[in-house]
Amino acid sequence: MNLWPVLLIIPPFLIATATAEETRIKPVPVVHLDAGEASEVMARADKEKRPRVIDIRTLDEFKEGHLAGAIHIDFFKEDFAVRIQKLDRKKPYLIHCQSGGRSSRSLALWAKLGFRKIYHLDGGLLAWKKAGLPVVR
């Protein structure tokens, strides 16, 4: 029995299946920024491309100083995922915490919920302050 016709059909089928699987599972596009880069992105002239800042630190940390215009959503609160889920997934967001640990751990949730554009402030607010950038109280 000649198997060549069958072998010629299988590889394209496997490639098509893999491609279909890849298009269903798209990771959230996360752009990791240092403090200077984050400051530049936040200052974009086009407001639609300017990310909303999400500060996921505790309320006490937030009150000690935060980025101008930041939205506070505490990572440790029970309703964290619910509050994130209410955000517009089409808008860009800049996520940060104190040093980058909590915000890094939160990235999986942003991906699961299907957000289109996420910026991550590497080093968190500590890196922001170290760069001499302003915070508000």
Per-residue pLDDT tens over the stretch 120-130? 999 999 999 99
> How many CB atoms are located within 10 Å of the residue 28 CB?
17
Task: Tell me the mean pLDDT in the region 19-32.
Answer: 62
Per-residue pLDDT tens over the stretch 38-94? 999 999 999 888 999 999 999 999 999 999 999 999 999 999 999 999 999 999 999
The vertex-35 CA angle with 75 and 120, nearest 5°, equals 40
Distance separating alpha carbons of residues 27 and 114, to the nearest angstrom:
8
CATH class for the domain made up of 27-130: alpha beta
User: At which residue do the structure tokens 């491609």 appear?
Assistant: 19
pLDDT range class, residue 16, cuts 50, 70, 90: very low
pLDDT range class, residue 36, cuts 50, 70, 90: very high
pLDDT of residue 81: 96
- With 0-12 CB in 10 A as exposed, 13-18 as middle and 19+ as buried, what is 71? middle
Residue 21 has pLDDT above 60, yes or no: no
Give the per-residue SS3 of 74-116.
Answer: CCCCCCHHHHHHCCCCCCEEEEECCCCHHHHHHHHHHHHCCCC
Distance separating alpha carbons of residues 93 and 42, to the nearest angstrom:
10
Which residue ranges make up each domain of the chain?
27-130
Q: What is the pTM of this model?
A: 0.80
pLDDT of residue 57: 98
pLDDT of residue 29: 79
